[in-house]
Amino acid sequence: AQKITQTQPGMFVQEKEAVTLDCTYDTSDPSYGLFWYKQPSSGEMIFLIYQGSYDQQNATEGRYSLNFQKARKSANLVISASQLGDSAMYFCAMREGPGFQKLVFGTGTRLLVSP
């Protein structure tokens, strides 16, 4: 079974609008971390935001926020006021036990922001 599922291969949004990128995860470990990364066309992986399984509040970082619904095992990324520079691939990832040795990635969502 997939550990991280991103069901949207591609998303379109107009500049200045908000967009939600979906991510569901599967783990039986009570302690885990969820991460979102952005990969622009240049290829690098840029860390955006983190949510811990025990965090009481949804994470926010500037225009990025994470809609964390633990019971539903979802960790959707919300980008407010989209900009042209937000066009990129977005990956959801999880770090779980035992050992937390790796990040498990979803297959990504390609976001295209139009003027």
64 touches another protein (CB under 8 A): no
Q: Which amino acid is at 59?
A: A
Distances from the Cα of 30 to the Cαs of 8, 14, 68, 97, in angstroms? 27, 38, 15, 9
Give the shortest CB-37-to-another protein separation in angstroms: 8
Please choose, out of 17-25, 26-34, 58-66, 74-82, the segment that lies near another protein by the rule CB under 8 A: 26-34
106 touches another protein (CB under 8 A): yes
Of 70, 53, 71, 69, the C-alpha closest to 20 is 69
Residues 66-95: x where in contact with another protein by CB under 8 A, - otherwise, as a string: -------------------------x-x-x
The H or E element spanning position 95 is strand 88-96
CB-CB contact of 49 with 28 (8 Å): no
Q: Which spans of this chain sit near another protein (rule: CB under 8 A)?
A: 4, 31-33, 35, 37, 43-47, 50, 52-53, 91, 93, 95-97, 99-103, 105-108
